[in-house]
Amino acid sequence: MADIRPFRAFRPRPDLSETVASPPYDVLNSEEAREMAAGNENSFLHVVKPEIDLEPGIDLYSPAVYAKGAENLSRMIADGVLVQDETPCLYAYQQIMGDHKQVGLVVGASVDEYDRDLISKHEHTRRVKEDDRTAHVDALNANTGPVFLTYRRKDAIDVLIDEVRRRAPDVDMTAPDGIRHTLWVISDLEEIEAIRGEFAKVDFLYVADGHHRSASASNVAADRKAANPGHTGGEEYNYFLTVLFPDDQMKILDYNRVVFDLKGHSAEEFMAAVSEKFDVEETTDPKPARRRDFGMFLAGKWYRLTAKEGSFPESDPVNSLDVAILQNNLLNPVLGIEDPRSDNRIDFVGGIRGLSELERRVAAGAAVAFALYPTSIEQLMAIADAGAVMPPKSTWFEPKLRSGLFVRPLGDRP
Counting DSSP H helices and E strands in the chain, the numbers are 13, 21
Q: What is the pLDDT of residues 367-409, one digit of tens each?
A: 999 999 999 999 999 999 988 888 888 988 999 999 999 999 9
CB-based contacts of 363, cutoff 8 Å, min separation 6: none
Res 124: pLDDT: 81
Residue type, 295: G
Closest CA to 14 of 245, 198, 146, 184: 184
Reported confidence tier of residue 278, pLDDT bands at 50, 70, 90: very high
* Cα–Cα separations (whole angstroms), residue 268 to 294, 336, 361, 370: 19, 17, 21, 17
Closest CA to 234 of 110, 147, 122: 110
Res 377: pLDDT: 93
Res 122: pLDDT: 83
Whether the per-residue pLDDT at 96 is higher than 80: the answer is yes
Measured between alpha carbons, how far is 28 from 248 in angstroms, rounded to an integer? 28
Whether the per-residue pLDDT at 413 is higher than 80: the answer is no
Closest CA to 146 of 11, 256, 43: 11
Whether the per-residue pLDDT at 125 is higher than 90: the answer is no
Measured between alpha carbons, how far is 390 from 379 in angstroms, rounded to an integer? 10
Reported confidence tier of residue 414, pLDDT bands at 50, 70, 90: confident
Q: Among the listed ranges 215-224, 297-306, 313-322, which one has the minimum average pLDDT value?
A: 313-322
Whether the per-residue pLDDT at 277 is higher than 80: the answer is yes
Whether the per-residue pLDDT at 26 is higher than 90: the answer is no
Measured between alpha carbons, how far is 408 from 33 in angstroms, rounded to an integer? 22
Measured between alpha carbons, how far is 317 from 392 in angstroms, rounded to an integer? 15
Res 199: pLDDT: 98
Share of the chain above pLDDT 90, in %: 89
Query: How much is the mean pLDDT over the chain?
Result: 95
Q: What is the pLDDT of residues 99-109, one digit of tens each?
A: 999 999 999 99
Q: What are the start and end residues of each CATH 3.30.1760 domain in the chain?
A: 252-397
Section 153-159 average pLDDT: 97
Reported confidence tier of residue 51, pLDDT bands at 50, 70, 90: very high
CATH architecture of the domain formed by 252-397: 2-Layer Sandwich (3.30)
Measured between alpha carbons, how far is 16 from 5 in angstroms, rounded to an integer? 27
Measured between alpha carbons, how far is 175 from 179 in angstroms, rounded to an integer? 6
User: Is the pTM higher than 0.85?
Assistant: yes
Reported confidence tier of residue 412, pLDDT bands at 50, 70, 90: confident
Residue 408 β-bridge partners? 143
Kind of pairing between the strands at 147-151 and 239-246: parallel
